[in-house]
């Protein structure tokens, strides 16, 4: 499990993106059972580092801590920096990748990873406003402008601004499990796992008023994951035609109802694997997968591991299953 997290802060740093990393990795949540990390902002030349908002941050640590960190985060950097990435930062990023540490960029921090060459031959993302520019600068990188984050091995790139939260939580889920990550998300007052991508935030004309919220239907679906739910079932609950419901769902959530349901079933399976000793057949039935084989297929597709391996790493059976509540 990760213990040390270094956040590289550079001249012109974006304050919100830096704050996201501090919030995800720097706060002490041990009172709720969340591991506390040795979190340190670092910079090539310690001292005052100017932000894009006109004030400075006092950063006391040089880059040496990043060479021993389990996670190296590169925050957003302004356009002028993209032309002259500090070679000391490039070396730190390359060494982190070579030794198998997690490397995560927030927003335009992906340009630093591109300059280091660690994204060559890989898929990555950045803020949708900068996607074309990044593709031009780094033609060996496949830029996906429509997603919130991309993981390639132990390298994670995130889209603009708040997508950094999604990327940090995604990393935490793999290191501390879904249950503890949900605690972090609740403390941050954000969704543990957002569906859809940044395409839904790209500038376009405002849609017409949509009427009533789909939230009651989504809450109902989550409470009934053990059932064989179809788009028709969800549409009927929302008092819409299936076609209208599917179109509205896509507009609101950036994904299809079927994909959203599959994600919710996997999330519930993670929770049950962590907090109960139930067999896979029972968990599959409870989550609506029907069989252990289907559970394994969906789990591997979503998380890249098996339910058994996930349980071996994150099991924490210390409360009755009947008392579990969906996060």
Share of the chain above pLDDT 90, in %: 69
Same domain, 324 and 268: yes
Same domain, 150 and 214: no
- Distance between CA atoms of 109 and 198, rounded to whole angstroms? 17
Same domain, 79 and 119: yes
Looking at residue 80, what is its pLDDT? 84
Same domain, 91 and 24: yes
Rg of the chain, C-alpha, whole Å: 21
Q: Check which CATH number belongs to the domain holding 163 and give it.
A: 3.40.50.880
Torsion of CA 101, 11, 167, 198, to 10 degrees: -140
Same domain, 43 and 137: yes
Share of the chain above pLDDT 70, in %: 90
Query: Which of 154, 188, 222 lies at the terminal end of a domain, its last residue?
Result: 188
Confidence of residue 207 (pLDDT cuts 50, 70, 90): very low
Answer yes or no: is pLDDT of 260 > 80: yes
Looking at residue 315, what is its pLDDT? 82
Confidence of residue 319 (pLDDT cuts 50, 70, 90): very low
The lowest-confidence range among 49-58, 130-139, 288-297, 298-307 is: 298-307
Looking at residue 37, what is its pLDDT? 98
Encode pLDDT of 262-314 as tens digits. Answer: 989 998 999 899 889 999 999 999 999 999 999 999 988 888 889 999 898 88
Confidence of residue 214 (pLDDT cuts 50, 70, 90): confident
- Distance between CA atoms of 188 and 25, rounded to whole angstroms? 11
Looking at residue 205, what is its pLDDT? 39
Same domain, 173 and 209: no
SS3 (DSSP) at 283: helix
Same domain, 171 and 124: yes
Residues 140 and 106 sit within 8 Å (Cβ to Cβ): no
Residues 162 and 127 sit within 8 Å (Cβ to Cβ): no
Same domain, 168 and 213: no
- Distance between CA atoms of 40 and 115, rounded to whole angstroms? 23
Confirm whether 183 is domain-assigned: yes
Looking at residue 252, what is its pLDDT? 79
Same domain, 107 and 184: yes
- Distance between CA atoms of 18 and 316, rounded to whole angstroms? 32
Q: Which residue is it, tokens 């849609």?
A: 207
Mean pLDDT of the chain: 88
Cα angle value 310/313/315 (rounded, 5°)? 85
**Cα-Cα-Cα-Cα dihedral sign, residues 289, 293, 295, 301:** negative
Buried b (16+ CB within 10 A) or exposed e, 153-163: ebbbbbbbbbb
Answer yes or no: is pLDDT of 193 > 80: no
**If phi over 0 gives left and psi between -120 and 50 gives alpha, with beta otherwise, what is residue 54?**
left
Same domain, 63 and 175: yes
Report the DSSP pairing between strands 123-124 and 38-42.
Answer: unpaired
Buried b (16+ CB within 10 A) or exposed e, 200-210: bbeeeeeeeee
Sequence-distant (6+) residues with CB within 8 A of 115 are: 82, 85, 90
SS3 (DSSP) at 81: helix
SS3 letters across 13-34: ECHHHHHHHHHHHCCCCHHHCC
Answer yes or no: is pLDDT of 239 > 70: yes
Encode pLDDT of 67-118 as tens digits. Answer: 999 999 999 988 888 999 999 999 999 999 999 999 999 999 999 999 999 9
Structure tokens at 99: 């030794």
Range of the domain at 159: 4-188
DSSP assignment of 163-220 equals HHHHHHHHHHHHHH-HHHHHHHHHHHTS-SS--S-GGGGSS-PPPPP--S-SHHHHHH
Confirm whether 200 is domain-assigned: no
Q: Check which CATH number belongs to the domain holding 217 and give it.
A: 1.10.10.60
Same domain, 132 and 250: no
Same domain, 97 and 231: no
Looking at residue 94, what is its pLDDT? 98
Structure tokens at 312: 């071996």
- Distance between CA atoms of 13 and 204, rounded to whole angstroms? 28
Please give the residue that has the higher pLDDT: either 327 or 176.
176
In the chain, the number of structural domains is 2
């Amino acid at each position: 499990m990760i213990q040390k997290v270094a956040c590289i802060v550079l001249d012109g740093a974006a304050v919100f993106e830096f704050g996201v990393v501090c919030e995800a990795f720097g706060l002490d949540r041990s009172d709720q059972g969340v591991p506390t990390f040795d979190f340190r902002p670092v910079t090539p030349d310690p001292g005052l580092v100017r932000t894009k908002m006109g004030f400075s941050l006092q950063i006391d640590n040089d880059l040496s801590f990043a060479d021993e960190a389990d996670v190296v985060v590169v925050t957003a950097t302004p356009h002028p920096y993209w032309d002259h990435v500090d070679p000391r930062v490039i070396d730190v990023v390359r060494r982190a990748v070579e030794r198998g540490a997690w490397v995560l960029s927030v927003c335009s921090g992906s340009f630093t990873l591109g300059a280091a060459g660690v994204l060559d031959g890989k898929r990555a993302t950045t803020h949708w406003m900068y996607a074309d520019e990044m593709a031009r600068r780094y033609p060996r990188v496949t830029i996906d402008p429509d997603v919130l984050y991309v993981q390639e091995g132990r390298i994670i790139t995130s889209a603009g601004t708040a997508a950094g939260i999604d990327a940090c939580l995604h990393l935490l889920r793999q290191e501390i499990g879904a249950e503890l990550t949900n605690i972090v998300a609740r403390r941050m007052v954000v969704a543990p796992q957002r569906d859809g991508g940044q395409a839904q935030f790209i500038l376009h004309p405002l849609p017409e008023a949509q009427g009533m919220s789909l939230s009651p239907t989504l809450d109902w679906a989550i409470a009934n994951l053990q059932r064989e739910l179809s788009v028709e079932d969800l549409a009927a609950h929302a008092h819409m035609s299936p076609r209208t419901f599917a179109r509205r769902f896509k507009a609101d959530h950036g994904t299809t109802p079927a994909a959203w349901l599959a994600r919710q079933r996997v999330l519930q399976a993670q929770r049950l694997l962590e907090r109960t000793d139930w067999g896979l057949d029972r968990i599959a039935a409870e989550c609506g997968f029907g069989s252990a084989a289907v559970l394994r297929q969906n789990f591997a597709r979503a998380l890249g591991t098996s339910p058994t391996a996930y349980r071996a790493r994150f099991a924490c059976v210390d409360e009755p299953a009947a008392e579990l509540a969906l996060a």
